[in-house]
Amino acid sequence: MIMFVIRRIASMLAVLLALTIALFTLQELSGVDPARAYVGANASAEALERTRVQLGLDQPAIVRYFDYLGGLLHGDLQNSLRTRTPVADGLSTAFPATIELALWALGLALVLGSIFAVLTVVRWKGAGVVRVVLLSGASAPTFLLTMLGLLFFYGQLGLLPSGGRSSYGSTSPGPTGLFVLDGLLAGRVDVATDAIWHLILPAACVAISPAVAIGRVLVDGLRINLVSDHARTARAAGMPEGLVMLRHAVRNSLGATLSMIGIQAGLLLGGLVVVEKIVSWPGVGSYLDKSVQASDFPGIAGVALLLGVTYVVLNTLVDLLQVAADRRIALS
Amino acid sequence: MSSPVPVVEVEDLRVTLRRGQAEVEAVRGVSLTVGRGEIVGIVGESGSGKSVLGLSLMALLPAAARPVVTGRIRILGTDMVGTTATADRLVRKKHIGAVFQDPMTSLDPTMTIGNQLAEVTSNRREVVRLLTDVGIADPETRLGAFPHQLSGGLRQRVMIALSLARNPSLIIADEPTTALDVTVQAQILQLLLDLRESRGCSVVFVTHDLGVAAQICDRIAVMYQGRIVESGDVDTVLGRPEHDYTKGLLASRIDLTTPRDRPILSAHGAGSGDALPAVWPAVVPGAPAVTIADARRTFSTGPFWKRRQLEAVRGVTLEIGQGESMALVGESGCGKSTLLRLVAGLDTPTSGSVTVAGDTGPQMIFQDAGSSLTPWLTVGELLGERLSAAVPGIRKPEADRRIAETLERVGLPAEVSRVKGASLSGGQRQRVAIARAVIVPPTVLLCDEPTSALDVSLAATVLNLLGRLRRELGMSVLFVTHDLAAARIIADRIAVMNHGRIVELGDAETVCASPTNDYTAALLSAIPGRELRQSHAAEHGDHSEERRA
């Protein structure tokens, strides 16, 4: 068991290392000269050379890679060519914004998916309606769904805000950078509820498609396990149907469902980048958008690294949860 | 052992189940009483309604089949028909324990056995006591084990411990030993007898195996087409059967006294469609068809830094002559299936050699004929596929002629070629599998437990069919089985395998009558139903005399 956790974490670190190598190589191949970009097109050859030495660009690639890696370990994501400030500073507010939205979206996807699955399996009469609503939501592209949602709930009804993250400015009242959590921690319920109002629309739009995918896998698992021999054993022992579902059906369905959650979480992160732009969410998607327009390679690499790390950590977490649900995995 | 309130009272029970579009009356008016401490066997073949009856007693019929139950079931005086699901559940909880056929799937694969037992008991000490009661050594260390880490026998012991947890008055055991090796089966039957002795609980024992029933039951009810056709004291029913169906069951049962020189008698027409000779013509083995010379097969398991070697086959030398039938007998894990795969050419030996003579490669028949038939192909297409693979460029009329001829040969009507495997019965499917294997007669026919999933009467007809086909087509047969009685019938010689080696090899009759190896002797003595065998032998003697007369 412990060996399994150690192995998983070791392989996670190996993947992350490979990611840094890939990003560094891409940066090398991109043809952008950071020194030129730094000093501007009109600077003298002398000034360019000085900056080059100053930035360590005269060193061989391998040395510069380890400098880069060393910097990463200290939270240094290089300087942005666009803002001339550390990329890490720019992302320090953008990343929590994205994470907060992603967590809400994922949470919502899990809740919707589970409700969908359980209603379907217990043959509740309205399950068909729920399925139609979710399926039609999932078949529309996320960005379109978000725009339509915005037009309706903001434009027509004036119920939800037009976009942004908070009506209370861009600084979070607490340490985590997650508005809802920080608002509650600081006793500012108004800030927390306001943040929730801002979160609802984008989170729901991003959540629908993963909810259907996760729900379907869970339905299949529950169906198979509810008629399985071990469920029959539990029933024969006089266990109530609710417990049979919870202990013997849900648990045995978790493996495949967790795999799907991992896949969907990755897709969800990618989808957020677009949705952030539509609802003016000050997250890494918006940051990436600006960086791309300015050909700011360190900015782009910083976002790629951050999203990559999130994705890898998430998948490691899914693996570990899978083992917790079915310990046979660690034994084989 | 009598008591004012019987443990089970069933009166005119009728159960209708929905299968696909059709409604099937699975149980048609059954009445049955089980007294305290009594072991009652419900014996019958698949489709007889015996398992449905067992599940009805627990009100556990699958909801998807929309069961309609009428009549009366009382467990210790409490009604189980027309009651609420909750009431039924409480009766199960208080009074009933259940043991099912396959302990691997009947235990939750993701839960340790300790946790599964903890669901039905109060505390850890009780869990340990239960495991001790069912004869599990060192129970403390087993608590953290998952079902897949235990052997089949241990798993079934855990299942029994689970059923005993709430100290039930009634245990319903549905084919509890069918999935087990014969020596393990003997242990589990003994355990059930011991538990009846120590706890005084009643057992309803559902089985298709008359030998097992004879060994454990006080009374037997024989079921056929949803009815109990005969019931009574075990010695009476099996010793002096009155109903034709019971007589047929007994006649098609194979044991160590069944005559080998002729087809097995099946009294209720199970052999119809097969033209069988009165006595098998003798087979004189020809030149070696299969030569196995010091074959070894070693598997590597585990990660590379702690690689372990698993020796499945440890130096086997064996020769099968042309036309000869050889049975390979052993228990799970003895390496018999690995050896069969080597002969089939599905695997190569780590060292040594396996040579098969002839141009047509060996053909194989598997235990589960249903899953070995491609579900979307018709029988005709399946056979045609094999034919065109072996005879490239064969023309359609010629192919159709050979398909019809082969179907006739295996005792199937020609119309079968237009249907798919799923719409055939288990016995018909096994015949189709055999037809596919012999449509181009192979030098060697490999059989992997082809009869162990079949009812006794079907198993008898398959053995008869194989006996006829191998003589007609001059095929060598390698027959892998755990069942010595079946091996003795089908084979000229028997090779007994244990731990990857052949421990005894000889003439089939000699091996069964006077084994020289301890392991062979243990296998022989574990075959259930010895009392039955004696009375049955007397009956058989009569039969033989009638025939000779």
φ, ψ at B304 (rounded to 5°): -65, -25
Task: Return the H-helix or E-strand segment holding B39.
Answer: strand B39-43
Q: Closest-CA residue in chain B for A238?
A: B93
Interface probe for A, chosen from B106, B169, B304 (most Cβ of A below 10 Å), is B106
Chain B residues near residue A235 by CB distance under 8 angstroms:
60, 89, 92
Q: Where are the beta strands (DSSP E) in B201-307?
A: 202-207, 219-224, 227-233, 288-301
- Tens-place pLDDT, residues A109-139: 999 999 999 888 888 888 888 888 888 888 8
Q: Closest-CA residue in chain A for B302?
A: A332
State the helix-helix crossing angle for A189-226 and A142-149, rounded to 10 degrees.
Answer: 140
Percent of chain B surpassing pLDDT 70:
93
Report which of B419, B462, B455 is spatially closest to residue B437, judged by C-alpha positions.
B462
- Tens-place pLDDT, residues B443-473: 999 999 888 878 888 888 889 999 999 999 9
Chain B residues near residue A251 by CB distance under 8 angstroms:
108, 110-111
Q: Which amino acid is at A22?
A: A
- Residue B530 pLDDT > 90: no
Alpha helices in chain A (DSSP H): 2-29, 34-39, 45-54, 61-73, 87-121, 127-139, 142-149, 179-185, 189-226, 229-236, 241-243, 251-278, 284-293, 297-325, 328-331
Q: Is A215 helix (H, G, I), strand (E, B) or coil?
A: helix
Interface probe for A, chosen from B108, B174, B305 (most Cβ of A below 10 Å), is B108
Position B10 scores a pLDDT of: 95
Q: Is B129 helix (H, G, I), strand (E, B) or coil?
A: helix
Q: Closest-CA residue in chain B for A325?
A: B110
Position B531 scores a pLDDT of: 57
Q: How far is CA B404 from CA B380, B435, B436, in A?
A: 9, 10, 12
Place of tokens 């340790």: B112
Q: Is B527 helix (H, G, I), strand (E, B) or coil?
A: coil
Q: Rounded to whole angstroms, how far apart are CA atoms B511 and B464?
A: 21
Cβ contact (<8 Å) for A233 and B108?
yes
φ, ψ at B318 (rounded to 5°): -160, 145
Closest residue to B92, CB basis, from A238, A247, A248: A238
Chain A residues near residue B91 by CB distance under 8 angstroms:
238
Q: Which amino acid is at B310?
A: L
Cβ contact (<8 Å) for A236 and B163?
yes
Percent of chain A surpassing pLDDT 90:
33
Position A332 scores a pLDDT of: 62
φ, ψ at B527 (rounded to 5°): -65, 125
Cβ contact (<8 Å) for A230 and B108?
yes
User: CA of B485 to nearest chain A CA: how many angstroms apart?
Assistant: 31
Position B268 scores a pLDDT of: 44
Predicted confidence band of residue B421 (pLDDT cuts 50, 70, 90): confident
Chain B residues near residue A233 by CB distance under 8 angstroms:
98, 100, 106-108, 159, 162
Mean pLDDT within A199-212: 93
User: CA of B72 to nearest chain A CA: how many angstroms apart?
Assistant: 20
Environment class of B71 (CB within 10 Å of its CB; exposed 0-12, middle 13-18, buried 19+): middle
Q: Which residues of B sit within 8 Å Cβ distance of A?
A: 58, 60, 62, 64, 85-86, 89-94, 96-98, 100, 102, 105-112, 119-120, 146, 148-149, 159, 162-163, 165-166, 172
Cβ contact (<8 Å) for A237 and B92?
yes
User: CA of B186 to nearest chain A CA: how many angstroms apart?
Assistant: 23
Cβ contact (<8 Å) for B107 and A233?
yes
Please give the order of strands across the beta sheet that includes B308-321. Answer: B308-321, B288-301, B351-356
- Tens-place pLDDT, residues B222-240: 999 999 999 999 999 988 9
Position B385 scores a pLDDT of: 92
Position B540 scores a pLDDT of: 47
Rg (CA), chain A: 24
Predicted confidence band of residue B372 (pLDDT cuts 50, 70, 90): confident
Which of A105-109, A290-294, B93-97 shows the lowest mean pLDDT across its residues?
A: A290-294
Cβ contact (<8 Å) for B60 and A235?
yes
CB pairs < 8 Å spanning A and B: 82
Mean pLDDT within B58-72: 91
Q: Rounded to whole angstroms, how far apart are CA atoms B57 and B41?
A: 14
Environment class of B340 (CB within 10 Å of its CB; exposed 0-12, middle 13-18, buried 19+): buried
Task: Return the H-helix or E-strand segment holding B400.
Answer: helix B396-409
Chain A residues near residue B145 by CB distance under 8 angstroms:
none
Q: How far is CA A104 from CA A188, A205, A265, B147, in A?
A: 19, 11, 11, 38
Instruction: Supply A23's token pair.
Output: 């990003």
Cβ contact (<8 Å) for B146 and A328?
yes
Predicted confidence band of residue B427 (pLDDT cuts 50, 70, 90): confident
Predicted confidence band of residue A226 (pLDDT cuts 50, 70, 90): very high
φ, ψ at B222 (rounded to 5°): -90, 125
Predicted confidence band of residue B403 (pLDDT cuts 50, 70, 90): very high
- For residues B538 and B332, which has the higher predicted lDDT (pLDDT)? B332
State the helix-helix crossing angle for A251-278 and A297-325, rounded to 10 degrees.
Answer: 160
- Residue B548 pLDDT > 70: no
Cβ contact (<8 Å) for A238 and B162?
no
Mean pLDDT within B194-203: 92
Chain B residues near residue A232 by CB distance under 8 angstroms:
60, 98, 100, 106
Q: Are B232 and B32 in contact (CB under 8 A)?
A: no
Chain B residues near residue A331 by CB distance under 8 angstroms:
146, 149
Complex ipTM above 0.85?
Answer: no
State the helix-helix crossing angle for B379-390 and B426-438, rounded to 10 degrees.
Answer: 20
Place of tokens 């421990």: B503
Cβ contact (<8 Å) for B166 and A230?
no
Q: Are strands B444-448 and B476-481 parallel, antiparallel or unpaired?
A: parallel
Q: Rounded to whole angstroms, how far apart are CA atoms A82 and A4?
A: 44
User: CA of B506 to nearest chain A CA: how many angstroms apart?
Assistant: 40
Position A126 scores a pLDDT of: 81
Mean pLDDT within B332-337: 87
Cβ contact (<8 Å) for A235 and B108?
no
Cβ contact (<8 Å) for A328 and B109?
yes
Q: What is the mean pLDDT of chain A?
A: 88
Chain A residues near residue B102 by CB distance under 8 angstroms:
229
- Write the DSSP symbol of residue B264: P
Q: Are B320 and B476 in contact (CB under 8 A)?
A: yes
Cβ contact (<8 Å) for B100 and A331?
no
Question: In sequence order, what are the residues at sequence separation of 6 or more whose Cβ sits closer than 8 angstroms to the Cβ of residue A167?
Answer: A161, A194, A198
Closest residue to B60, CB basis, from A228, A236, A331: A236
Cβ contact (<8 Å) for B98 and A327?
no
Over B532-548, what HEC string results? HHHHHHHHHHHHHHHHH
Position B2 scores a pLDDT of: 47
Chain A residues near residue B93 by CB distance under 8 angstroms:
237-239
- Residue A290 pLDDT > 60: yes
- Our measurement of the distance from residue B159's CA atom to the centroid of its chain's CA atoms, rounded to an integer in Å, reads 19
- Write the DSSP symbol of residue A82: T
Position B266 scores a pLDDT of: 64
Q: Rounded to whole angstroms, how far apart are CA atoms B77 and B3?
A: 12
Report which of A250, A257, A248 is spatially closest to residue A110, judged by C-alpha positions.
A257
User: CA of A312 to nearest chain B CA: how many angstroms apart?
Assistant: 24
Chain A residues near residue B112 by CB distance under 8 angstroms:
327
- Residue B173 pLDDT > 60: yes
Predicted confidence band of residue B544 (pLDDT cuts 50, 70, 90): very low
Q: How far is CA B278 from CA B175, B260, B262, B271, B457, in A?
A: 35, 12, 6, 13, 18
Position B534 scores a pLDDT of: 52
Q: Rounded to whole angstroms, how far apart are CA atoms A319 and B469?
A: 54
Predicted confidence band of residue B271 (pLDDT cuts 50, 70, 90): very low
Domains of chain B from N-terminus onward: 8-242 (3.40.50.300), 262-362+442-519 (3.40.50.300), 373-440 (no CATH)
Cβ contact (<8 Å) for A237 and B98?
yes
Percent of chain A surpassing pLDDT 70:
100
Q: Which residues of A sit within 8 Å Cβ distance of B?
A: 227-230, 232-241, 247-248, 251-252, 325-328, 331
Q: Rounded to whole angstroms, how far apart are CA atoms B238 and B537?
A: 12
- Residue A157 pLDDT > 60: yes
Please give the order of strands across the beta sheet that includes B202-207. Answer: B96-99, B170-174, B202-207, B39-43, B219-224, B227-233
Q: Rounded to whole angstroms, how far apart are CA atoms A290 and B207?
A: 74
Q: Closest-CA residue in chain B for A327?
A: B110
Position B487 scores a pLDDT of: 93
Mean pLDDT within A73-100: 87
Domains of chain A from N-terminus onward: 12-73 (no CATH), 89-331 (1.10.3720.10)
Mean pLDDT within B382-398: 91
Adjacent-strand bridge partners of B41: B205, B220
User: b/e for B150-170, b at 16 or more Cβ within 10 A?
Assistant: bebbbbbbbbbbbbbbbebbb
Environment class of A125 (CB within 10 Å of its CB; exposed 0-12, middle 13-18, buried 19+): exposed
- Residue B274 pLDDT > 70: no
Instruction: Supply B364's token pair.
Output: 């194989």
Cβ contact (<8 Å) for A234 and B108?
yes
Mean pLDDT within B88-111: 91
Q: Are B497 and B335 in contact (CB under 8 A)?
A: yes
User: b/e for B430-445, b at 16 or more Cβ within 10 A?
Assistant: bbbbbbbbbbbbbbbb
Chain A residues near residue B60 by CB distance under 8 angstroms:
232, 235-236
